[in-house]
């Protein structure tokens, strides 16, 4: 499916014709092409955030998905790799994964798709032409271009209020860009409490490492301050495969006594991304995280005991997908989303999405990009549209076979739900699709 053409197609959607089997695929592709996505989880930033917003060829090639593959092929040690410049790292990765090997993996094919989208060579021996092209781009204009090419109207960020690079940007009251929506990310507070509590003390919050009663009310104050400063559309945390709730730990107490109540106070969903095993190989840094199967009974308890809270949930382990679907059938305060990280491969996205349609109809959010580099939006959403089209068309054909006709309106309504309005409804407000 061509990435660029999101202009209004000449196929009118107001004629409720009943589609024949072979027209369905075309109508699905058209609806997917014309619908601007809301990308509900990324690590992207608008131009006003400066250098923490990653884009360009060196960032594309030093993406941790590619670093993981590079260390499999290269004799270069991680220690040697971290000693050289980002430019040299990018050159080494291009040479190893794109020149000396065929870029067949999902992540390497992604870089090829981006180069093609900008009309850049995909088989060059070096990066000089690509580097010259990206050097000519201005951040603002490039962002406009990439969002248009990717068919994405709104990007949801991941904002860590305790990140030493990001916090000062918020304290400076940064100019907001409505296409980039903030999220209050709480991993440092909920997963690494032994570290940041002193940082909060230095910011004037009377907290301690025991999560005492005083500490809890101070965390509530911290969350309120940041909700007023950042205006997040949800709060979020990634959790290990060992996550247990309830638990008499700082994590369990802060989640129960501070985060869940604050989410209710500010009417914000809580996003739980469950199943990551952080840093199983710290030598390769961001590429060193892995996956583990989680016990999802904690999720059952959360949804059951806190019906007033809305949960956005993504699980990293393939083995947890079915349980998540079943829990979503039990609790309407649970919205499954995305094929996260190691699951974001067409063969697995297909499996997960088919199962979700069979068990949940259109009441889920099929994908988020998790883009860390701006141009990744182009290939990640191209892949998602390409993978979704035959799955949706197959479901509609089964519906026709079972005795109910399908119209373009049906398809457009469902695609709109899957790519944007399910999420908009869950957070309680819409975004412009212009
Ligand atoms: O926790 C997360 O938000 C993960 O998506 C990241 O930590 C991870 O590094 C990533 O980029 C996955 O795609
Ligand atoms: Zn992420």
Q: How many CB atoms lie within 10 A of CB 208?
A: 15
Residue nearest to atom 13 of ligand 1 (CA): 341
Please report the pLDDT score of residue 256 as a whole number.
97
Residue 319 Cα to ligand 2 midpoint, Å, equals: 20
Please report the pLDDT score of residue 197 as a whole number.
79
Atom of ligand 1 nearest to the CA of 341: 13
- Of the candidates 152, 150, 185, the one whose C-alpha atom is nearest the C-alpha of residue 170 is 185
CB of 286 within 6 A of ligand 1: the answer is yes
Please report the pLDDT score of residue 432 as a whole number.
78
Residues of the chain with pLDDT under 70: 1-16, 434
DSSP state of 7: S
CA distances from residue 337 to 39, 78, 161, 295, 417 in whole angstroms, order as listed? 11, 33, 24, 18, 13
Q: How many CB atoms lie within 10 A of CB 292?
A: 17
CB of 372 within 6 A of ligand 1: the answer is yes
CB of 314 within 6 A of ligand 1: the answer is no
CB of 342 within 6 A of ligand 1: the answer is no
Residue 30 Cα to ligand 2 midpoint, Å, equals: 29
CB of 200 within 6 A of ligand 1: the answer is no
Please report the pLDDT score of residue 192 as a whole number.
81
Residue nearest to atom 1 of ligand 1 (CA): 238
Please report the pLDDT score of residue 196 as a whole number.
76
3-state secondary structure of 155: strand
Residue among 60, 186, 238 to mutate when testing ligand 1 (max atoms within 8 A of CB): 238
With b for 16 or more beta-carbon neighbours within 10 A and e for fewer, the 244-266 pattern comes to: ebeeeebbbbbbbbbbbbbbeeb
Atom of ligand 1 nearest to the CA of 370: 13
Element of type H or E holding 156 = strand 152-156
Question: Whole-angstrom Cα distance, residue 363 to residue 258?
Answer: 29
Residue nearest to atom 9 of ligand 1 (CA): 286
Question: Whole-angstrom Cα distance, residue 320 to residue 295?
Answer: 8
Residue nearest to atom 5 of ligand 1 (CA): 370
CA distances from residue 51 to 22, 63, 86, 347, 381 in whole angstroms, order as listed? 48, 16, 14, 34, 24
Question: Whole-angstrom Cα distance, residue 256 to residue 211?
Answer: 11
- Of the candidates 418, 309, 310, the one whose C-alpha atom is nearest the C-alpha of residue 357 is 418
Q: What share of the chain is helix, strand, coil (3-state, %, to 5)?
A: 55, 10, 40
> Which residues have C-beta within 8 Å of that of residue 77, sequence separation ≥ 6?
none
Please report the pLDDT score of residue 5 as a whole number.
44
3-state secondary structure of 331: coil
Please report the pLDDT score of residue 18 as a whole number.
86
Residue nearest to atom 8 of ligand 1 (CA): 341
Residue 229 Cα to ligand 2 midpoint, Å, equals: 22
pLDDT digits (tens, 9 = 90+) for 313-332: 999 999 999 999 999 999 99
pTM over 0.75? The answer is: yes
Question: Whole-angstrom Cα distance, residue 412 to residue 37?
Answer: 13
Residue among 62, 341, 344 to mutate when testing ligand 1 (max atoms within 8 A of CB): 341
Question: Whole-angstrom Cα distance, residue 111 to residue 286?
Answer: 19
Most distant CA atoms of the chain, gap in Å:
66
Atom of ligand 1 nearest to the CA of 41: 3
Residue 13 Cα to ligand 2 midpoint, Å, equals: 35
- Of the candidates 228, 237, 322, the one whose C-alpha atom is nearest the C-alpha of residue 271 is 237
Please report the pLDDT score of residue 149 as a whole number.
98
* Residue in this structure with the two tokens 């204009």, named with its chain if needed: 141
CB of 369 within 6 A of ligand 1: the answer is no
């Amino acid at each position: 499916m061509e990435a660029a053409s999101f202009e209004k197609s000449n196929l009118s959607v107001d004629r409720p014709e009943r589609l024949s089997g072979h027209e369905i695929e075309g109508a699905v592709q058209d609806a997917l092409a014309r619908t601007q996505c809301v990308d509900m989880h990324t690590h992207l930033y608008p131009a006003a955030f400066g250098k923490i917003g990653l884009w360009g060829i060196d960032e594309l090639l030093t993406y941790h998905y590619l670093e993981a593959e590079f260390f499999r092929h290269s004799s270069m040690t991680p220690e040697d790799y971290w000693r050289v410049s980002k430019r040299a790292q990018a050159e080494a990765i291009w040479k190893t994964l794109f020149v000396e090997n065929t870029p067949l993996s999902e992540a390497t094919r992604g870089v090829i798709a981006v180069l093609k989208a900008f009309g850049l060579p995909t088989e060059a021996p070096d990066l000089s032409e690509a580097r010259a092209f990206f050097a000519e781009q201005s951040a603002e204009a490039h962002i406009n271009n990439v969002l248009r090419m990717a068919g994405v109207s709104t990007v949801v960020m991941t904002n860590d209020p305790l990140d030493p690079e990001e916090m000062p940007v918020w304290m400076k009251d940064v100019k907001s860009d409505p296409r980039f929506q903030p999220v209050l990310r709480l991993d440092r507070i909920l997963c690494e409490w032994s570290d940041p509590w002193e940082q909060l003390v230095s910011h004037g919050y009377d907290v301690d490492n025991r999560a005492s009663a005083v500490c809890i009310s101070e965390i509530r104050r911290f969350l309120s301050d940041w909700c007023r400063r950042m205006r997040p559309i949800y709060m979020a945390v990634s959790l290990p495969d060992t996550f247990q709730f309830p638990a008499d730990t700082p994590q369990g107490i802060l989640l129960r006594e501070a985060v869940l109540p604050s989410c209710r106070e500010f009417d914000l969903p809580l996003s739980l991304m469950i199943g990551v095993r952080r840093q199983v190989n710290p030598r390769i840094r961001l590429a060193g995280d892995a996956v583990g199967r989680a016990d999802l009974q904690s999720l059952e308890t959360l949804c059951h005991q806190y019906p007033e809270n809305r949960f956005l949930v993504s699980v990293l382990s393939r083995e947890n997908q079915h349980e998540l679907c079943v829990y979503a059938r039990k609790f309407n305060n649970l919205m499954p989303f995305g094929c996260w990280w190691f699951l974001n491969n067409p063969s697995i996205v297909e499996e997960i999405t088919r199962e979700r349609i069979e068990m949940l109809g259109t009441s889920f959010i099929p994908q988020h990009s998790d883009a860390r580099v701006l141009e990744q939006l182009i290939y990640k959403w191209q892949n998602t549209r390409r993978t979704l089209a035959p799955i949706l068309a197959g479901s509609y054909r089964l519906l026709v076979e079972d005795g109910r006709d399908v119209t373009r309106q049906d398809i457009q309504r469902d695609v709109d739900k899957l790519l944007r309005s399910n999420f908009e409804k869950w957070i309680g407000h819409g975004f412009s699709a212009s």
